[in-house]
C-alpha cells in the first residue's frame, strides 16, 4: 500500500511539493480495514463465504479515506483538485488497482463517474470504527480481537454503493487494462 502511495507522488498524480505522505497512518488504516471487514462480514456475508476482491477493494478505499495518510501542506489553501482530494484519489487508485483497472480523471466518458465515486469515498464516515478511533485518539492500543463492532447503519449505504460500482467497473468488458 505504501508503494502505491509513494508512486502517486513520484508520478506527479499527486503534487509531491504540496502533499505529505504520513506513512504511519497506513498501519493504522490497515488495522481499521480488518475491523471494518469483520463488521461487514458479520452483517452481510454468510459463514464460510470466500473473500471477494471487490468487497475488499471497497472497504480498503473507505479505510484509506477515513484515516487520510496524505495531508496537504497547506490544507486551507489547496491549489488544485488533486491536493483537495488526495486521499480519495489514493483510495480509488488503490482499489481499482486491486481490480485490474486504472483510474484516470481524464478518461473519455468517465470523468463524471470518477468524480461521483470520489464524492462517495469522501462522504464515507465509517462510524463503525468509532471505538477504534477513540482508542487511537487516547493513545490506547488494544488487540483487534477485543473489538466487537457492528456495522453502523450510516456506513452501509457507502459500502454497498462502492461495492456495486466496483463490481460494474471490474466486470465491464471495456474497462481499461492495468
Task: State the Cα–Cα distance between residues 176 and 53, nearest whole angstrom.
Answer: 18
Q: What is the pTM of this model?
A: 0.88
Q: What is the pLDDT of residues 82-114, one digit of tens each?
A: 899 999 999 999 999 999 887 776 766 777 888
Q: What is the pLDDT of residues 43-56, one digit of tens each?
A: 987 666 656 889 99
Q: What is the pLDDT of residues 21-77, one digit of tens each?
A: 999 999 999 999 999 999 999 898 766 665 688 999 999 999 999 999 999 998 888
Assess contact for 61 and 40: CB atoms under 8 A: no
Task: State the Cα–Cα distance between residues 33 and 21, nearest whole angstrom.
Answer: 19
pLDDT at 49: 62
Q: Is residue 87 part of a domain?
A: yes
Q: Is residue 80 part of a domain?
A: yes
pLDDT at 120: 93
Is it the case that residue 177 has pLDDT exceeding 50? no
Q: Is residue 113 part of a domain?
A: yes
Three cell numbers at 127? 462510524
Count of domains forming the chain: 1
Q: Is residue 178 part of a domain?
A: no
In terms of residue numbers, what domain contains 114? 2-171
Assess contact for 49 and 37: CB atoms under 8 A: no
pLDDT: which is higher, 49 or 164: 164
The three-point CA angle 18-13-55 to 5° equals: 115
Task: State the Cα–Cα distance between residues 36 and 38, nearest whole angstrom.
Answer: 5
Q: Is residue 177 part of a domain?
A: no
Task: State the Cα–Cα distance between residues 112 and 105, nearest whole angstrom.
Answer: 9
Mean pLDDT computed over 129-142: 95
Q: Give the long-range contacts of residues 142-145, CB within 8 A, separation 24 or more.
A: 144/31, 144/34, 144/35
pLDDT at 50: 59
Q: Is residue 55 part of a domain?
A: yes
Element at 21 (helix H, strand E)? strand 19-21
pLDDT at 48: 61
Q: Is residue 98 part of a domain?
A: yes
Q: Is residue 165 part of a domain?
A: yes
Is it the case that residue 146 has pLDDT exceeding 80? yes
Amino acid at each position: 500500500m505504501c508503494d502505491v502511495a509513494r508512486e502517486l507522488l513520484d508520478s506527479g498524480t499527486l503534487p509531491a511539493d504540496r502533499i505529505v505522505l504520513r506513512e504511519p497512518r497506513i498501519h493504522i488504516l490497515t488495522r481499521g480495514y480488518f475491523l471494518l471487514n469483520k463488521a461487514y462480514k458479520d452483517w452481510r456475508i454468510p459463514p464460510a463465504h470466500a473473500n471477494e476482491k471487490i468487497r475488499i477493494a471497497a472497504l480498503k478505499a473507505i479505510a484509506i479515506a477515513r484515516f487520510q495518510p496524505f495531508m496537504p501542506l497547506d490544507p486551507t489553501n489547496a491549489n488544485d483538485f488533486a491536493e483537495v482530494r488526495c486521499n480519495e484519489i489514493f483510495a480509488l487508485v488503490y482499489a481499482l488497482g486491486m481490480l485490474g483497472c486504472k483510474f484516470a480523471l481524464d478518461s473519455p466518458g468517465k470523468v463524471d463517474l470518477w468524480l461521483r465515486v470520489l464524492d462517495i469515498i469522501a462522504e464515507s464516515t465509517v462510524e463503525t470504527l468509532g471505538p477504534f478511533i477513540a482508542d487511537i485518539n487516547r493513545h490506547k492500543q488494544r488487540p483487534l480481537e477485543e473489538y466487537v463492532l457492528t456495522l453502523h447503519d450510516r456506513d452501509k449505504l457507502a459500502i454497498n454503493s462502492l461495492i456495486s460500482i466496483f463490481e460494474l467497473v471490474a466486470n465491464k468488458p471495456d474497462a481499461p487494462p492495468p
